[in-house]
Amino acid sequence: MALKELNPLLHSQLRLAVVSLLAGVQEADFSYLKDETNSTAGNLSVQLQKLKDAGYIEIEKAFKNNYPQTTCKITRKGSDAFAEYIENLKEYLSPKKEKKV
Amino acid sequence: MIDPAESLDIIQDMIFKAQKNYSIDSFYYIMWGWLTFSAAMLSYFLMPVLHEKTGMVWLLMPLGGIISFVYGSKQAKYQKVKTHIESHVNQVWLTLGIALICVVIAIFMQINFKILPTFILLYGIGIFCTGRIIKFMPMIIGGALCFPLFLISSYFSATDFSFQYLILAFAVLVSYIIPGHILKTKFRH
């Protein structure tokens, strides 16, 4: 049986890092994601928008202390996609144990 | 493109970072602890002088509320990430804060604490807090209704004791039974 294709939206270094971080917290702001993933603001913005368009994350923009603040949160759809990605990843890492359908 | 082993490393690394990132602020425990400790000790030593007016000492407590609000607002400005643990702990203290306000109102209404109303207050604490954590509106509403029901039941405990049973039944209906059945329907599949 062929291995299932890994979700291309998550199978990218930065997007996977962002979703993995958001899966473990309630919400995180843009600067936290930027620091923890060692990414540039420009690249992170583009990747966050892609995740938002797919419905995997919610982005809320507000003003705090007169500075714009962007807060991100994983959605149910994002959590499900992340769980499915990990399930498929297991098959790649131990292909002998893959389930027969 | 990354390979599956790299993917696993990224996931492990990020989940580890997310987990180590929570901190429970000691400020509130220390501030409220010392404020209450001071009020209790002050009451003890001033009792021979102030007699029945000793209760005035507890008017210091709203000061703690103001300090908490100002400190909390400042901290929120610098918080970059909120973990599930922090969020759940916040819900516990929000619920307890509401319950404490209810107790203070009861004291101002000069209500003596009776068993049945106290149970309603405890139901409210459990159900409201659970509802907030699992984000389940019927439980939030049912739990929130227990707080005024505690005050109503306490009020009637002095005049019409049997009426308390009706209020207790109503409290259990809105906080346990209705949310419980809705929850059962929701997770039937």
- pLDDT one-digit tens code per residue, A58-69: 999 987 767 788
Q: What's the pLDDT score for residue A86?
A: 92
* Chain B interface includes A16 (CB < 8 A): yes
Percent of chain A's residues with pLDDT above 90: 68
Give the ipTM. 0.82
**Confidence (pTM):** 0.76
**Chain B residues with beta carbon closer than 8 angstroms to that of A92:** 4
Q: What is the pLDDT of residue B100?
A: 92
B67 with B103, same domain? no
Choose from A21, A66, A85 for mutation: most chain B CBs within 10 A.
Answer: A21
Decide: B175 and B189 in contact? Cβ < 8 Å: no
Is the pLDDT at A100 greater than 60? The verdict is no
Give the range of the structural domain holding residue B182, as residue numbers without chain letter.
Answer: 84-189
> Quick check: A11 and B6 CB within 8 A?
no
Closest-CA residue in chain A for B133?
A: A26
**Which residue matches tokens 């405890």?**
B122
Q: Running along chain B, 189 residues long, what does each successive block of 10 average in pLDDT?
A: 86 84 78 91 89 84 90 83 87 94 85 82 95 94 96 82 87 94 82
Total count of domains within chain B: 2
Task: Let me know whether B113 and B39 are in one domain.
Answer: no
Q: Which residue of B lies nearest to A30 if distances are taken between CA atoms?
A: B80
Residue A57 has pLDDT above 50, yes or no: yes
What was the pLDDT predicted at B97?
92
The rounded radius of gyration (Å) of the Cα atoms in chain A is 15
| Number of domains present in the structure of chain A | 1
Question: Residue A66: which domain range?
Answer: 13-93
| Ramachandran angles phi, psi of B152, nearest 5° | -65, -45
Q: Strand, helix or coil at A18?
A: helix
Best probe of the A interface among B1, B9, B16, B17, by most A CBs < 10 A, is B17
Contacts of B88 (CB under 8 A, 6+ apart): B133
Find out whether B89 and B133 touch, Cβ atoms under 8 Å. Answer: no
Domain boundary pick from B77, B108, B142: B77
Average pLDDT of chain A is 88
Q: Which CATH number fits the domain that encloses residue A81?
A: 1.10.10.10
Give a yes or no: residue B8 inside a domain.
Answer: no
B92 and B66 in a single domain? The answer is no
Same domain assignment for residues B47 and B91: no
So what's the pLDDT on residue A101?
Answer: 45
pLDDT digit string, tens, across residues A73-98: 999 999 999 999 999 998 888 765 55
Return the structure tokens found at B97. 């804060």
